[in-house]
């Protein structure tokens, strides 16, 4: 039985003051119960990590960044290293489609970042997903396979245990258009078979695969009823404590 994971991806939203306000309200709501025993992770901006670390201490809620650079340190103006975020949090989102498509991150870069993050013992929320054009051109599986094979290149099974995969069809992110539970399950089951090929059956059975793309309190339950959907990576609907609580307690 895989423990569900509900991860908030706040993207470039919330000042540290706003982040703190959210967390205070969210914690108080959560004290009334986490009925699915979900692992909860909040992925915030770098600037909010220090104060959120303090506020989340002892709460059981995990904290994550949304990116790192792949080098350990050096002359990379503006970049943030794995070692730097590790001071404050234990997770990082990598390969998000907004970085792949709006910022031109190729599979090779995502792979380097993943290796660096895992070497620093960060847990990686590794995102994959096809664009609308790719889906309509019937190359969804090819795209996901490339993202996973290239992204996982050079990673051994032991390290890979610190990876949570997130399937996020690009056409469903921030659009209000969710994949149907059937479409999502089809992709998740494809991903699980593929990682059994890359590693083995045992690893594949243990790996949590999250769905992301317009997850809301209204659609989370049906998505979570699918056998290969182990949680959600939530953008818009994670911005409000009440809405994220309803998702956690689907
Ligand atoms: P959304 O974003 O829930 O707003 O669609 C999900 C994500 O980008 O991780």
Query: What pLDDT digit, counting tens, does each position of 9-67 carry?
Result: 999 999 999 999 999 999 999 999 999 999 999 999 999 999 999 999 999 999 999 99
Q: Convert the pLDDT of each residue in 153-194 to its tens digit.
A: 999 999 999 999 999 999 999 888 888 999 999 999 999 999
Ligand 1, atom 2, lies closest to the CA of 235
Residue 115 confidence (pLDDT): 97
Q: Residue 249: its pLDDT value, please?
A: 98
C-alpha to C-alpha distance for 179 and 93, rounded to whole angstroms: 21
Place of tokens 């915030």: 44
- Token pair, residue 47, equals 């600037």
- Block residue for tokens 């990682």: 195
Average pLDDT, the chain: 97
**What atom of ligand 1 comes closest to residue 234's alpha carbon?**
3
Distance from the CA of 43 to the center of ligand 1, in angstroms?
12
pTM: 0.97
| pLDDT digit string, tens, across residues 122-138 | 999 999 999 999 999 99
Which residues have a catalytic role annotated? 96, 168
Pocket lining for ligand 1, CB < 6 angstroms:
9, 168, 173-174, 212-215, 233-237
pLDDT of amino acid 91: 98
Q: Is the pLDDT of residue 214 over 90?
A: yes
Q: Judge contact between 248 and 36, C-beta under 8 A.
A: yes
CA of 96 to the centre of ligand 1 (A): 10
Q: What separation in Å is there between the alpha carbon of 74 and the centre of ligand 1?
A: 32
Instruction: Examine the pLDDT at 139 and tell me if it is beyond 90.
Output: yes
């Amino acid at each position: 039985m895989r423990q569900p994971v509900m991860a908030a991806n706040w993207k470039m939203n919330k000042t540290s003051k706003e982040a703190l306000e959210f967390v205070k309200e969210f914690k108080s709501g959560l004290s009334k119960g986490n009925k699915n025993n979900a692992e909860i992770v909040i992925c915030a901006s770098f600037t909010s990590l220090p104060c959120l670390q303090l506020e989340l201490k002892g709460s059981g809620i995990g904290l994550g960044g949304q990116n790192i650079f792949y080098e350990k340190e050096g002359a990379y103006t503006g970049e943030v290293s794995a070692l730097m975020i590790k001071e404050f949090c234990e997770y990082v989102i990598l390969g998000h489609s907004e970085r792949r498509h709006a910022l031109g991150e190729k599979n090779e870069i995502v792979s380097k970042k993943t290796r660096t993050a895992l070497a620093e013992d960060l847990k990686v929320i590794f995102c994959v997903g096809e664009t609308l054009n790719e889906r309509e051109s019937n190359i969804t599986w090819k795209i996901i396979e490339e993202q996973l094979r290239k992204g996982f290149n050079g990673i051994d099974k032991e390290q890979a245990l610190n990876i949570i995969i997130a399937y996020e069809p690009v056409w469903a992110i921030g659009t209000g258009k969710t994949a149907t539970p059937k479409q999502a399950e089809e992709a998740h089951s494809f991903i699980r078979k593929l990682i059994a090929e890359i590693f083995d059956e045992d690893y594949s059975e243990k790996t949590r695969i999250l769905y992301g793309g317009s997850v809301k309190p209204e659609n989370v339950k049906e998505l979570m009823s699918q056998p290969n959907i182990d949680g959600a990576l939530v953008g818009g609907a994670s911005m409000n404590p009440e809405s994220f609580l309803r998702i956690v307690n689907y």
